[in-house]
């Protein structure tokens, strides 16, 4: 499952955010170490499969990370 969400009718990926927005998300979302690593890799256009290999975890674990990261992003986007 890829991290994406409709915000104002547009599908948003982490790499769709500007650098200042990415920095604000990192500061506001209170990501765990694994969530932050996932977020940083997704912001560089890495797929969940390559992230799983990079982090040495299963794709299902990456999917769980994606859901947690997505949830946090959705909660803080109104404050950007």
**Rounded distance, CA 53 to CA 74, Å?**
26
Query: Which residues, other chains included, contact 34 with Cβ-Cβ below 8 Å and sequence gap of 6+?
Result: 55, 65
**Closest listed residue to residue 51, CA positions, set 34, 67, 68:** 34
**Rounded distance, CA 16 to CA 77, Å?**
13
Q: What is the pLDDT of residue 9?
A: 53
In degrees rounded to 5, what are phi and psi of residue 70? Answer: -60, -45
Q: What is the pLDDT of residue 10?
A: 54
Tens of pLDDT, residue by residue over 31-67, are: 999 999 999 999 999 999 999 999 999 999 999 999 9
- Report domain extents, the chain: 5-79
For 5-79, CATH gives 1.10.10
* Model pTM score: 0.81
On whether the CB atoms of residues 3 and 13 are closer than 8 A, the answer is yes
Tens of pLDDT, residue by residue over 1-21, are: 334 444 555 556 666 788 999
Tens of pLDDT, residue by residue over 22-39, are: 999 999 999 999 999 999
């Amino acid at each position: 499952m890829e991290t994406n969400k409709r915000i104002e009718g547009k599908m948003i990926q982490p790499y769709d955010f500007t650098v200042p927005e990415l920095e604000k998300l990192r500061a506001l979302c209170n990501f765990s170490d694994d969530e932050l690593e996932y977020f940083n890799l997704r912001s560089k256009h890495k797929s969940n499969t390559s992230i799983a290999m990079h982090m040495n975890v299963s794709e299902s674990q990456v999917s769980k990370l994606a859901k947690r990261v997505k949830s946090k992003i959705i909660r803080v986007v109104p404050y950007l």
